[in-house]
Amino acid sequence: MTHSWQITDVVDAARARIATARLAAAHGVPALDRTRLTTALSVQLRQCLTKGGTWWLTLEATAAPGEEGLLHALVTPRHETAAVAQPPWRITVRCPEAADVSGDAAVAEDPVVLAEALLGADEDTALVLERLTEQEELVDFHREELHQTNQGVLALHAELDAAGRAQREAFAAERKARTEAESARRRLTFLADASAVLTASLNHDEIVRRLPGLLVPEYARSVDVWLFDGDDDRHPPTPDPAAPQHPPTPHPAAAVLAARTGRPQYAADRPGGLPGVQDQPPSALDPARPLLCIPLTTRRAPLGVLTLSPPGDRWDPDDAVMLIELARRASIAIDNARRFEHNRDIAETLQRALLTDLPAKPGLSLAARYLPATHGLNIGGDWYDAFRQPDGSLITVIGDVTGHGLHAAVMMSQLRTALRAYAVDGGSPGQLLTRLHMFLHHLQPDLYATAVIARFRPGDPTLTWAAAGHPPPVLRTPDGRVHTLDAKPGAMLGIPLRQQIDDHTAPLVPGSTLALYTDGLVERRAQGIDPGIERLADALGRFGSTELEADLEGAADRILTPLLSDSERDDDVCLLLCHLAA
């Protein structure tokens, strides 16, 4: 359906606007769209009236009744009156339903009716304003909600930033703790390894030599160990005018103070801040170099002072604590080594005092060697002896008490003394060993010994000997041949059984040499004892009778050299050579 209106003045325009609003309402156009339609039409009609001339407003509904369609509004000028060519103006709105509005399209010319119609048109405007107010309130609500959301987002960002900082601080603290733990582990590992190195030796000079290698260059640039000579050399004795004078070694004042007070001292141009360490002025000997002076002390007496210079400008406090602990352990190791050396010297003196001088007998030369084991206190149960019997015979004996140490040495001395006492009453080598067996069995039931005794009788061309669990004697004849006297020996001395040890004899030709020895000379753990006896026989056979008779002492040394050069000794060694003159 189509409606048209001619517009030449403002009254025509008002009627057309009122009619358009009524038709749009009749077609069910929503109030908002209806207001948009009438407002846009009013603006257009005002422009048309300003331009002048005659205009046509056409409304056309394109849908059948009962169906949703479109409502078109078209404003065009009349061509015969238009001063300027003007394109048509159009607008389209949706109309949900179509209706027959032929009777409603006309608008009365009565001014009162026209005014009422114009006032009624403001209802749509009021509705639009109400909707606009609702939208504004909705916008305000959403704006406030957005503001609250923004505040929450900002707060969340602040919390995330704080959490990030806390996490970074936690990571930094963890890295610091891990670094400190690694440093502590490194120091503990160093202490353990250094302690093992220091305690591996029982020579205090060797321990002092190893200290710089442990500390330089990681923990110190230089290391100086000042050991007191004797119990305490902090107050040196008055020098002897007759003795050659040597200038004393100067020591830093901090080292002297550490020796006197027993407390660590740090000498530098500024405080070190090291725990447990007293700060002192820089050393006059080297003012530019900081020094850490740590006393080497034990419970018994001070040993010396360890003086260190730092690898860099100064020490880390934890490193200083570790160095003080290392000095304490070094003190214990040095003190133990000194005590061991002192006891070893006493033991060696005692051992050698128990070994008597060999007697001189015309026509018979004797040479003996005793070498203590290279481990332990260097004292054991090996012994040799030679003495005369009342009938003029010469008894030579070599033996070995099981075990090492002072107890074995004491038992060796008692056996040697008992053997000499029994030999005063005479008796053959087998009889003497039998009596020694009974003596040891009753004296020390849990101690055993081995021994071999050889008797040289003047004018008798026969050698009488007996052995109890001991390696067999080796006899070299003047023709250069070497024989092992391996006749069946008796059992070890002291074992819990009764035994009668037999005598054995061998021809003794002038120019012959008899070798008695202990198992430490010939026995090796990996090879046994037989190869060692063969090496001894071979070494003895290389000598000539003239050489043995001229220098039996030198021959003893030359026999020991090849036999003991293959390995480090872990047992005592005894060798007794008996040479019958040609």
pLDDT band for 375, please (50, 70, 90 cuts).
low
Q: In this structure, are 220 and 344 located in the same domain?
A: yes
On whether residue 136 sits in a domain, the answer given is no
Three-state DSSP at 305 gives strand
Mean pLDDT of the chain: 85
Instruction: Note the pLDDT tens digit of each residue in 461-503.
Output: 999 999 999 999 999 999 989 999 988 889 999 998 889 999 9
Instruction: Please tell me the predicted confidence (pLDDT) of residue 100.
Output: 58
On whether residue 229 sits in a domain, the answer given is yes
Q: Measure the CA–CA gap between 272 and 469, rounded to whole angstroms.
A: 69
Say which residue the tokens 């305690």 belong to: 199
Q: In this structure, are 305 and 363 located in the same domain?
A: no
Q: In this structure, are 316 and 364 located in the same domain?
A: no
Domain that holds residue 520: 355-580
Domain final residue pick, 91, 107, 123: 107
Range from 233-242, 335-344, 554-563 carrying the lowest mean pLDDT: 233-242
Question: Contact, 19 vs 73, CB < 8 A?
Answer: no
Is the pLDDT at 386 greater than 90, yes or no? yes
Instruction: Please tell me the predicted confidence (pLDDT) of residue 236.
Output: 38
Q: In this structure, are 326 and 361 located in the same domain?
A: no
- Burial label, 200 (beta-carbon count in 10 A; 0-12, 13-18, 19+): exposed
What is the pairing mode between strands 394-404 and 449-456?
antiparallel
Instruction: Please tell me the predicted confidence (pLDDT) of residue 99.
Output: 60
Indicate the number of domains in the chain. 3
Q: In this structure, are 391 and 511 located in the same domain?
A: yes
Domain final residue pick, 305, 326, 349: 349
Q: In this structure, are 442 and 573 located in the same domain?
A: yes
Q: Measure the CA–CA gap between 89 and 275, rounded to whole angstroms.
A: 98
Q: In this structure, are 376 and 416 located in the same domain?
A: yes
pLDDT band for 536, please (50, 70, 90 cuts).
very high
Q: In this structure, are 308 and 401 located in the same domain?
A: no
pLDDT band for 234, please (50, 70, 90 cuts).
very low
Tell me the CATH number at 214: 3.30.450.40
- Give Cβ neighbours of residue 388 (< 8 Å, ≥ 6 apart): 359, 361, 394, 395
Instruction: Please tell me the predicted confidence (pLDDT) of residue 77.
Output: 87
Instruction: Note the pLDDT tens digit of each residue in 266-319.
Output: 999 889 889 999 999 999 888 889 999 999 988 878 899 999 999 988 888 999
pLDDT band for 366, please (50, 70, 90 cuts).
very high
Which residue from 254, 256, 252 is spatially nearest to 228, judged by alpha carbons? 256
